[in-house]
Amino acid sequence: MVLFNYKILYICRNLRDKLSKKLYFFLFYKKAIIAMTSNQVRYFLFLPVLFASFYTSCKYKEGPLISFRTRTDRISNTWKFDKVEHDGVEITQRFALTSLNIKEDGLFNLVGGDTADIIHQKFFQSYQGTWFFDVDDDNIIFDFEPPPDSADGARDTWTILKLMSDEVWLEMDLPGKHNKKEIVLKKL
């Protein structure tokens, strides 16, 4: 009977010591936060938020360094082709009358006047389809609806180099010779 009481006493003391350490830890930090002025508390609480947004915003090679807008908000816009290069040769003039309307609901519309299509180098008045980011948000994927005279659509995957609300830099590098394309889009 006495041995049993000592075991219970030993278990209770260990439990008390563990709880008191945790309780001391909690009370110490609670007192430290209470002792701070209101400005210090704001900075103390703001730093993790700033770090988290900084960590998740530094996604693209060319920027932006930090953004408080979502990727979808930044890409959803009507864009004009400011610069287009194909294997280092600037062909922007061919896309002078082309615009790309990307909507938040996952739809897009590529409209060109007297210009060639980016992918197939054929004349098209309008292309429509859906768009989405890949799993890592490094690429934007455009699924084109098939034109009336074809059963197959096209899928383009562009690497995002820069994603701002007024400027987007995209790059496509396909295997093989003469397949590197770079585009700079500006807000229309």
Give the pLDDT score at 4. 47
pLDDT in tens, 153-171: 788 899 999 999 899 999 9
Closest CA to 92 of 115, 123, 119, 124: 115
What are the two backbone dihedrals, phi and then psi, of residue 78, each rounded to the nearest 5 degrees? -105, 125
Helix, strand, or coil (residue 130) = strand
Q: For residue 91, give its domain range.
A: 71-187
Measured in whole angstroms, the distance separating CA 140 from the mean position of its chain's CA atoms is: 10
Helix, strand, or coil (residue 156) = strand
Give the C-alpha separation, 106 to 8, whole Å: 64
Q: Which of 14, 33, 57 is the last residue of a domain?
A: 57
Average pLDDT over residues 73-100: 90
Give the C-alpha separation, 79 to 21, whole Å: 59
CB-count exposure of residue 160 (10 Å: 0-12, 13-18, 19+): buried
Give the pLDDT score at 3. 45
- The owner of tokens 């098209």 is 124
Domain assignment of residue 35, yes or no: yes
pLDDT at residue 13 greater than cutoff 80:
no
Closest CA to 85 of 9, 179, 2: 179
Domains held by the chain: number: 2
Q: Are residues 102 and 180 in the same domain?
A: yes
Domain assignment of residue 65, yes or no: no
pLDDT in tens, 94-123: 888 889 999 999 999 988 855 444 555 555
Domain assignment of residue 64, yes or no: no
Could you tell me the pLDDT band of residue 40, with boundaries at 50, 70 and 90? low
Q: Are residues 122 and 157 in the same domain?
A: yes
Give the C-alpha separation, 8 to 10, whole Å: 5
128 Cβ contact list (under 8 Å, min separation 6): 107, 108, 109, 110, 144, 145
Q: Determine if the pTM surpasses 0.95.
A: no
Rounded to 5°, angle at Cα 16 from 35 and 14: 135
Give the pLDDT score at 78. 95
Could you tell me the pLDDT band of residue 137, with boundaries at 50, 70 and 90? confident
Domain assignment of residue 82, yes or no: yes
pLDDT at residue 5 greater than cutoff 70:
no
Give the pLDDT score at 153. 79
- Domain holding 120: CATH number? 2.40.128.280
- Calculate what percentage of the chain has a pLDDT beyond 90: 30
